[in-house]
Copies of this chain bind each other. A is one copy, B any other.
Amino acid sequence: MNTPYYAVIFTNTQTDDLDGYDEMAQKMEDLAQQQPGYLGMDHARNDIGITISYWENLDAIKNWKANLDHQEAQRLGKEKWYQWHKTRICKVEREYEFHRK
């Protein structure tokens, strides 16, 4: 990835009603990968879940947010799966990386 690009930091806590969640999460990851401007995704969950998706520009993020299948996932998330969630739209200005030799 070449800076600048964009990151969407999605942090959340879940409810006890996770029926259908895993399938939807997988479906959304597959669908995001097909979106124009998609660059990648990182995910981990312990006490909170963190999903970071990376995008070429703000338009790519806007289009992904407006995607109809994604809108349905967002609706179900609010209705059933998430106790709380927060979304941060971020411009990645610099990055550096370490690889063990």
**Interface size class of chain A, counting residues whose CB lies under 8 Å from the partner chain:** 20 to 34
Within 8 A of B (CB), among A44-101: 44-50, 52, 78, 82-100
Known contacts A43-B50, A90-B92; 11 additional CB pairs below 8 A are A7-B7, A7-B9, A9-B9, A9-B42, A9-B52, A83-B100, A84-B99, A85-B98, A88-B92, A88-B95, A89-B95
23 intermolecular pairs with C-beta atoms under 8 Å apart? A9-B92, A11-B52, A42-B48, A42-B50, A44-B44, A44-B45, A44-B46, A44-B47, A44-B50, A46-B46, A78-B98, A78-B100, A84-B100, A85-B97, A85-B98, A86-B95, A86-B98, A87-B96, A88-B92, A88-B94, A89-B95, A90-B90, A91-B91
